[in-house]
Amino acid sequence: MAATCATNGAMTAFSSADHPHRRRNLLNGRWVLVSPHRARRPWQGDRGVPGDASGPGHDPDCYLCPGNLRANGERNPAYAGAFAFANDFPALLVDTPAPAAADPLFPVAPARGEARVICYSPDHSQTMAEMPVPAIRALVDCWAAESAALGARWANVQLFENKGAMMGCSSPHPHGQIWASDFVPGEVVDEDREQAAWRAAHGQVLLDQVAAREADLGERVVAAGAHWLAIVPWWAVWPFETLLIARDPVGRIEELGEGARDGLADILRRLTGAYDALFATSFPYSMGWHQRPADSADPAAWRLHAHFNPPLLRSATVRKFMVGFEMFGESQRDLTPESAAARLREAL
């Protein structure tokens, strides 16, 4: 980007690496403020505890380890790979009464669904970044099977993982969750609207165009393969946020072919390994898949993708806080996406 502006009577060339500017997120329509000069400010604020995935391969007190009792009194089987089961404390219930007619000032709507847990591995200490690629491939197959089964009954299937205590994870055993609902959540509604609008205006799939352009430019690419592209998106909010885009014409994870599933296992191992290497810590993040919901405005506009939103900013102990302007104005970041991508590439 190049432009000039007047500063105290002098014309200064604009630099996206030095000057504040805004970038629009094409997936949800919202803007993010980029303030790269602030990355140089001193830090005397909170320093969290570094993530640590070390520990025993089996913890007798863990509710998720093979053979152990869960909080509801059920015993886990002696599972050897990815293991999915109904969440003992689900956020959504299959049968729940509909609320009474709402006052216009206090809208309310019913919410029904299912919540499930997926243990990634029987090893209590083994995060995705440490799992062998074949084990991650088995997890991909589990995601796909769960998504297909739940998608036959519910409007939206949300696969996600909160990794690390810093992201509010309630158990150190590597695991993710699935929430399937009879409604389409707001983030997915926004992405459905924007992708449909893009295809209507341009005749092409938005994320196909993003992936092609990013692959050509290279400056925000973290890792690439025949079936997947991992980038720090142009509109990234979190310091080392990444977007993992399917390069095949698929809108749901169960639609992935064998080659794409193999490629996904490989790039997940590489990407999460780069995160851990960046600050020599078990890198916390929230990861979530976005896939085509039922009754999409334009099913052909969808391209399967995953978001990785990690909080760490400067080190294993200094995180990004979404407060102040972020809460009351719009998202803001200091480190540019281009700089973040370069650092992640170096960590691969």
Residue 55 identity: G
User: Using CB atoms within 10 A of its CB, is residue 81 exposed (0-12), middle (13-18) or buried (19+)?
Assistant: middle
**Which pLDDT belongs to residue 115?**
98
**Which pLDDT belongs to residue 1?**
43
Q: Which of 174, 151, 152 is nearest to 161 (CA)?
A: 174
The ranges of the chain with pLDDT < 70 are 1-11, 39-54
**Which pLDDT belongs to residue 101?**
82
pLDDT in tens, 55-111: 789 999 999 999 999 999 999 999 999 999 999 999 999 999 999 988 999 999 999
Distance of CA 191 to the CA centre of its chain: 14
Distance of CA 210 to the CA centre of its chain: 17
Catalytic residue numbers read: 175
When the pLDDT of each residue in the chain is averaged and rounded to a whole number, the result is 93
**Which pLDDT belongs to residue 153?**
98
C-alpha–C-alpha distance, residues 99 and 305, integer Å: 34
* Complete domains list, the chain, with CATH: 186-347 (3.30.428.10)
Compute φ and ψ for 166, nearest 5 degrees: -65, -25
User: Using CB atoms within 10 A of its CB, is residue 256 exposed (0-12), middle (13-18) or buried (19+)?
Assistant: buried
**Which pLDDT belongs to residue 45?**
59
C-alpha–C-alpha distance, residues 37 and 240, integer Å: 17
Structure tokens at 130: 């440490």
C-alpha–C-alpha distance, residues 181 and 156, integer Å: 5
**Which pLDDT belongs to residue 2?**
46
Inter-residue contact 308 to 8 (CB < 8 Å)? no
State what percent of residues in the chain have pLDDT above 90.
Answer: 87
pLDDT in tens, 171-214: 999 999 999 999 999 999 999 999 999 999 999 999 999 999 99
